[in-house]
Amino acid sequence: MSGTSLDGVDVVLADLRVTTAPLLLGTCYYPYNDDLRETLLLLHQSGYDELHRAAMLSNQLSRLYAKATTDLLERTGVLAAQIVAIGCHGQTIRHCPEPEKRYTIQLVNAALLAELTGITVVADLRSRDIAAGGQGAPLVPAFHEAVFKSSSRHRVIVNIGGIANITNLDPHHATTGFDCGPGNVLMDAWCLQHTGRNYDQNGQWAVTGRIIPALLDALLSDPFFAQAPPKSTGRDLFNLRWLEKKLQFSEESPEDVQATLLQLTVISIAKSIDTHCLGAEEVYICGGGGHNSLLINQLAEVMSGKKVALTDRLGITIDWVEAFAFAWLAQQAILRKTGNLTAVTGAKGSRVLGAIYPA
């Protein structure tokens, strides 16, 4: 998995033979270097020779995915021949769920990845849902349902990556889920622009600032937040250009803006849970945002009537839930089982997701 945050590649080795109790056998993380990250960011906008640049990046990423895969196998003593498939999400550079557009692009050369690893690859996991009238995202709620749903407790899973998404696991109703707004994407971009650091560790910079109420109101006034699910989003909407249009005064200090962006993430998550997850008792956080102690503490404060914890408590460490989900989605594809939840994506029916590239 390589997500909206553009920080690197998460790889997991998953044993899914017992579907009710999947096992995490090994993990590794390969960070993107600054050049690769900047090149990927540039491809989020139209530019010169972008088809060629996208193809070259797909090859580069696939070689990185292959190296990460083979390194993890060597580290765990597992042979490539023992692996049924690699589930590879690819790197999203465009996500346009609007009905008049409705397409999504993830960079990966799946054929090259299969060739380099000698392992069957399942990729292009979003397109079939979109073809069926869905938004192609979020896809992780189906995995959350399979591994985190309780028969007695109403749980909500919040994945805080670049974008934040919510899975509503009500034991008495069908699972729902949706993207609720920016997770780390705006905070990371603002931090990089003003401090040179890729992210604000533990909110240490944000805590020095004060929330700007007028700015927070302006940010929350975006129609996306009032839109009813199903809904999904990405850097196509939430980016520095979007933020700069909302800034009202030249004297707004960077640290105050950072504090406000953190509060935007907190409030958009909390309001979404209050509105669309009525009766929720437990909220479990995963994704990179789980490392931001200020963010987690403020979420817990706002949702004081609910138990707030990390998914570590449910048996899967926060850093590996999403990669684990795409291993599970690959298994669904190999077994010709459906991988989307229509209540989440809005597709007109359940579909088998992904294109299979045999070894």
Our CA dihedral for 187, 188, 193, 196, rounded to 10 degrees, sits at 130
Our CA dihedral for 197, 49, 357, 95, rounded to 10 degrees, sits at 60
Could you tell me if 345 and 231 are in contact, meaning their C-beta atoms sit under 8 angstroms apart? no
Consult the annotation and say whether 7 binds a ligand.
Answer: yes
Compute the residue count for the chain.
Answer: 359
Consult the annotation and say whether 71 binds a ligand.
Answer: no
Consult the annotation and say whether 339 binds a ligand.
Answer: no
Consult the annotation and say whether 4 binds a ligand.
Answer: yes
Consult the annotation and say whether 10 binds a ligand.
Answer: yes
Report angle CA 308, 313, 316 to the nearest 5 degrees: 120
User: Which tokens sit at 42?
Assistant: 């540039």
Consult the annotation and say whether 236 binds a ligand.
Answer: no
DSSP state at residue 225: H
Phi, psi (degrees; rounded to nearest 5) at 135? -100, -5
Distance CA 131, CA 61 (A): 26
Consult the annotation and say whether 272 binds a ligand.
Answer: no
Distance CA 156, CA 137 (A): 17
DSSP state at residue 152: S
Consult the annotation and say whether 176 binds a ligand.
Answer: no
- Pick out the residues of the known binding site: 3-10
Annotated binding site for ATP: 3-10
